[in-house]
Structure 1
Amino acid sequence: MARESRGRHDAARSQTRRRSLVGQLPTPLRAFLATEAGGALLLLVATAVALVWANSPWSGSYEALWGTEAGIRVGALDLAMDLGHWVNDALMALFFFVIGLEVRRELSVGELTDRRRVTVPLLAGVGGMLLPAAIFLLVAPGGEAARAWAAVIGTDTAFLLGALAVVGPRLSTQLRVFLLTLTVVDDVVAVSVIGLFYSGEVRVLPMVLMAALGAVIALLSSRGVWRTAPYAALVVLLWLATVEAGLHASIAGMLGGLLVGASRPRRDRVLEAAERVRAFAQSPMVEVGRSARAGLERSMSVNERLQAALHPWSSYVVVPVFALANAGVDLRGGVLADALSSRLTWAVALGLVVGKFVGIGTTALLAARLGAGSLPVGVGRGHVLGGAALSGIGFTVSLLVVGLALDDPVLRDEATVGVLLAALLATALGWATFRLAALRGEGDADLPRRLARPVDPEVDHVKGPADAPLTLVEYGDYECPFCARATGVGDELRRRFGDRLRYVFRHLPLHDVHPRAELAARAAVAAGLQGRFWQMHEALYAHQDALDYDDLVGHAQDVGLDVDRFVRDLDSPEVVLRVRDDVASAEASGARGTPTFFVGEERHTGPWDAETLARALEEG
């Protein structure tokens, strides 16, 4: 369930929705996927080290290390805990803070902004918690053991994505996005459960202070305060107040992250940052450099900057250290045999493996079949079941809950063995499920990567010879500020390649984000009927703040069109259908955002400056 995670050219793009498609994803999500996959290896190594250490002749040093007292004293404030509690109550607060940041970003500008895309994975997430909990309670013995029921509701996303990279389809970005959306439910509910069921005696005054600190964080976010230091200081104070209140520190982490707002880059701030960088290039002085750095930071939301700074620490330090501190079960002296015959061990293992597989898989497929939503493009039923199987890797939060719920060391060891056993069984089940899916023809869980509709000079808007050996296709949106900055790329590349290149523009108005983009696209097509497409194309990008109906009529006059005919054509079925055909070809080709480029028939990923595209054209 862990979300430690998510160049900058893609962050500036209008919101996109893949190994080569990864470049088409938003930068935070792309970095998140890469960091989790890398962090999973460290997590596995740390787990192995903990098990070997705890079962070696030096096992006493393992227990002694995590029992070592450490504290911070500032005046009257004296905060002392053993190292095990510092890991579980302090480092894990950072872990959950990163989760909270990611959930807030997804809610504000990510996958969770489109309710049509999230219904199925969110319902699957609910099913993937209820059934595992029910199975656990049916199998587990009563008494103290039953308190560990929440150990089976979470999924360790770091391990999940690492296992997916090893046993899943070669290309699986669409499935990854689906699984990440699903784990949002795990993230929020698991932290809430920990706070409600596994906290100590609650004290009122520190809770009032928590509320006040949360309100200040929210206020800073709403006022657009862009420096990270105030947020970091307030979250540390929020953590201290939470500890004093008797609540588990995960509450402070998640709450703090959820309150730090996220937003798309604003064009004016991006342009201002670019001007400051140019000024520094012309005058490389310390003051000018500081101004350039401040401009760059201000152009990106605090949420994304905190994620970029903290995800590596969470992935490569916090989670592996947590595994090192919590996975060390001494299996000697018949402990392993006793655990394998324990109802608690199998309650955890079956709850995670069977509960997640059946709960997520059945709920997702049933929800899609009943029309509650649809599976992502490229994701088949076998992919969903394979992902559901891997979701049985509960590890991080499962071990945290085991440590909080069970005081009896024997029960704790049995439950820990169940968590480790579940990780092995879930990975094996996922591997088998993906292999069966492949035999049924379900290969990559990915968006299409090739241009679905070949270039037709009789239909497409083309600059350059129709039979040129090199082709660059751009899907653009006239209201997209970053498309405007890329609009000269085609001309620059044509100057470089001459008659060897044909540049093709197709329309992809993102009406959910840019409400005037579709009308502007129709205006360009209507101008094309009078042989003035490229003139109107340039006028629309030059006047992105003037794309209302009356503005378009003015642009038509400026480029020398017959205005009466232009007005008639603007709403004609021929023009409307022409734009819709381009949008349909974008969908079929896997283009989800603008600008999206195709070099020949293959989608280009990564930066889209002229130099990068030129290299891609030469290599293609």
Structure 2
Amino acid sequence: MVNLTLIQRSPDPEQVDARARERRSIASRIRAMGQSRIGALLLLLATVAAIVWANVSSGSYSTFWETHLTVGVGDLHLDFTLHALVNDALMAIFFFTVGLEVRREFAIGELTSWSRAMVPVIAAVAGLAVPALLFVLIAAGSGHANAWGVVISTDTAFLVGALALIGPRVPGRLRVFLLALAVVDDIGALSIIALVYTESFSPLPLVIAALGLAGVYFTRYLRGGRGPVYATLAVIVWLAFLASGVHPTLAGVAIALLVPVYRPDRRDVEHALDLARTFRQSPNTEYARAAANSLRESISINERLQSAYAPYVAYVILPLFALANAGVVINQEILASAVRSPVTWGIVAGLVAGKFIGVFGSAAVLRLLRLGEFGPGLTLDRIAGGSALCGIGFTISLFIVDIAIDDAAVQNEARVGVLAASVIAFVIATVIFRVSDAMRPDVDAGQTLARPVDAKRDHVFGAMDAPYTIVEYGDFQCGFCLKASGSIQEVHEVLGDRLRYIWRHAPLTEFHPNALAGAEAAEAASLQGKFFEFERGLFADQENQRPSDIVRLARELGLDVEKFERDLTAPEVTGRVRDDMLDAEAMGITAVPTLFINGRRHTGPYDAQSLIRALGAETVDGAPAGHR
């Protein structure tokens, strides 16, 4: 990685600090990747443990998971096996977290803008349809063609973990694409479970469920004590789904879709900060409780629940599910049966070939037709690796095996197919990513501007047809970026209309807590034609960029403050900043400012004379820069 710092013979403090920031940034990314891997590793270990247990002592494995539990009072009681407890109760929590993610993506995430969502949505739909079609074609004569739902879903936990483990260099944009695809994939899988794999149906309990769901919706208006109310209503809704015949795990999805999600409101954040300052001045229990509650309430319930439940789902529920469902007895007879089984081959073909053809094929067609947004880093070779990873259909595949196939022997064949397909998909993805990275030249990695200057997209200061161009990736709270802006202003004073300057966002959120908010505020200001005025305002007061400071600056610049505050959370604003950040990651930018001079990355000092020489420009009197 190349850090843009002043190059001197003796170590410069700024250079040393930039290098330290880069090391901390890399360490943070490694920790984040490690967290993704842990969940996938536990899932894999539980799968291996289940297979070993089932083969060493198949009797004890079956007996343990068929152990009955009875819970109730008087004449009212529920009778569950341990296997059903995991699949019907604990997995409802898993589907609840899936529903929370779906709700968030449609409200404030990737699926808020059709232009950004088009590619993953179409790829996900094709990735649902093609595998199902392949399975039906292969398993048509087996009597189990109705189990096509086994091949439709990608395991998000394994997908994220595998991408962290074997993915390409700078996988950011591919990861965003695959997560958006996984959300749509989950919606399709959940809909199919509800519509296709509901065996018996009783409408009356669903009336009770509907009343419970209405209660879940209106609970948001309670001033306090919402947690116990949510929990009570969730149990009622789950029991009603169970009694109706609709698979009770879908209760988790229905509840999650009604949980509110929103970006933190500026006034709530300011109130929390005021209470925190009050507590700091007068530490006591009452102020501490008020500050903690205010901070918590400034974050949406959806995001708080995701944060609270995610570790339990990744580290407990999914491994338990694998332990309860992946126990396939593997012997010569079963393997021979699986090799001859059209169900097994239908699953392998559907997950491995079907997912790849559906996801990669649709993405390639969209790229050929220039439809949808791809962005730097989301190349076809990386999409190919991600499409192969989509063939890991573990959790929901095993889940549907249990509810779509009654024959125990065929269930074993199906599970062998799911496990084999997941291993094959992982190996193919590994090969694709390794070959792709090996063929990608390192010589020019990050040295050429990945996204060309676009007058419709970029913030351009100067004439679009100017012969000289400086593109800066920067952070409004970075002192080095402030110095660079001064140098670029000097260059503009010398070159005038012969220079065009473009700013792009690369906020270092780990070191500058308000940098992301500043970037989004600048984009909101740009919707009123005041981007560069807002940029200068942010640079002029780098120490004060809290929400109230940002709104004050908007007022001072004469912006429509109400519109400005609405635009702060608009999808086009947050999406634009995110796209710049992903572009920066794709080019290996880990320190700012990073400048591109006429499309090439600048590696030297960034004082005005150095930049003019790098531009290859001549000064007004015709002499080369620095030789007047």
CA contact under 8 A between 1:453 and 1:585: conserved in structure 2?
A: no
Query: Pick from 439, 459, 466: which aligns with 2:488?
Result: 459
Whether 2:253 is the aligned partner of 1:266: answer no
Whether 2:186 is the aligned partner of 1:187: answer yes
Q: 1:287 maps to what in 2?
A: 286
Distance verdict in 2 for CA 1:22–1:252, change over 3 Å: farther
The 10-residue stretch of structure 1 (123-132 or 361-370) with the greater mean CA deviation from structure 2: 361-370
Q: Give the superposed CA RMSD.
A: 4.0
Q: 2:133 maps to what in 1?
A: 134
CA contact under 8 A between 1:326 and 1:399: conserved in structure 2?
A: yes
Q: 1:96 maps to what in 2?
A: 95
CA distance in 1, matches of 2:577, 2:256: 38
How do 1:389-468 and structure 2 match up within 5 A?
A: 389-441=388-440, 453=472, 455=484, 457-460=486-489
How do 1:353-372 and structure 2 match up within 5 A?
A: 353-372=352-371
CA distance in 1, matches of 2:578, 2:158: 36
CA contact under 8 A between 1:261 and 1:302: conserved in structure 2?
A: yes
SS at match of 2:488: coil
Distance verdict in 2 for CA 1:550–1:333, change over 3 Å: closer
Q: Aligned-pair distance for 1:20?
A: 4.9
- 1:419-474 CA deviation, whole Å, 9 max, x = no partner? 000011101111121123224317899x9899953836343499xxxxxxxxxx99
- 1:206-263 CA deviation, whole Å, 9 max, x = no partner? 1111112222222334778794332233222211111011110221111111111211
Structure 1 letter corresponding to 2:554: L
- 1:178-217 CA deviation, whole Å, 9 max, x = no partner? 0000011211111111111222311111111111222222
CA contact under 8 A between 2:36 and 2:160: conserved in structure 1?
A: yes
SS at match of 1:72: strand
Structure 2 letter corresponding to 1:218: Y
CA contact under 8 A between 1:329 and 1:416: conserved in structure 2?
A: yes
Distance verdict in 2 for CA 1:324–1:460, change over 3 Å: farther
Query: Pick from 554, 564, 575: which aligns with 1:547?
Result: 554
Q: Aligned-pair distance for 1:276?
A: 2.3
CA distance in 2, matches of 1:548, 1:520: 12
Q: Aligned-pair distance for 1:150?
A: 0.3
SS at match of 2:78: strand
CA distance in 2, matches of 1:148, 1:585: 40
Q: Aligned-pair distance for 1:113?
A: 1.6
CA contact under 8 A between 2:132 and 2:350: conserved in structure 1?
A: yes
CA contact under 8 A between 1:72 and 1:78: conserved in structure 2?
A: yes
SS at match of 1:171: coil
Whether 2:43 is the aligned partner of 1:49: answer no
SS at match of 1:551: coil
Whether 2:319 is the aligned partner of 1:309: answer no
Q: Aligned-pair distance for 1:108?
A: 1.1
How do 1:523-542 and structure 2 match up within 5 A?
A: 523=533, 534=540, 542=549
Q: Aligned-pair distance for 1:534?
A: 3.6
CA contact under 8 A between 2:124 and 2:359: conserved in structure 1?
A: yes
CA contact under 8 A between 1:175 and 1:376: conserved in structure 2?
A: no
Structure 1 letter corresponding to 2:430: W
Distance verdict in 2 for CA 1:442–1:186, change over 3 Å: farther
Q: Which blocks of at least 5 consecutive residues in structure 2 are unaligned?
A: 1-23, 452-469, 474-483, 492-501, 561-575, 596-628
Distance verdict in 2 for CA 1:284–1:304, change over 3 Å: same
CA contact under 8 A between 1:49 and 1:324: conserved in structure 2?
A: yes
Percent identity at matched positions?
39
CA distance in 1, matches of 2:379, 2:550: 43
**Paired residues, what number?**
508
Q: Aligned-pair distance for 1:377?
A: 2.5
CA contact under 8 A between 1:270 and 1:296: conserved in structure 2?
A: yes
CA distance in 1, matches of 2:193, 2:222: 32
Q: Aligned-pair distance for 1:280?
A: 2.9
Q: Aligned-pair distance for 1:549?
A: 9.3
Whether 2:217 is the aligned partner of 1:218: answer yes
- 1:299-343 CA deviation, whole Å, 9 max, x = no partner? 111001101110001111110000000000111251122212211
The 10-residue stretch of structure 1 (322-331 or 165-174) with the greater mean CA deviation from structure 2: 165-174
CA distance in 2, matches of 1:148, 1:207: 26
SS at match of 1:368: helix
CA distance in 2, matches of 1:442, 1:124: 28
Distance verdict in 2 for CA 1:153–1:536, change over 3 Å: closer
SS at match of 2:554: coil
SS at match of 2:77: strand
Whether 2:355 is the aligned partner of 1:345: answer no
SS at match of 2:558: helix
CA contact under 8 A between 1:105 and 1:303: conserved in structure 2?
A: yes
Q: 2:109 maps to what in 1?
A: 110
Q: 1:228 maps to what in 2?
A: 227
SS at match of 1:373: coil
CA contact under 8 A between 2:152 and 2:189: conserved in structure 1?
A: yes
Q: Which blocks of at least 5 consecutive residues in structure 1 are unaligned?
A: 1-18, 25-29, 463-472, 490-505, 554-582, 603-620
Q: Aligned-pair distance for 1:483?
A: 13
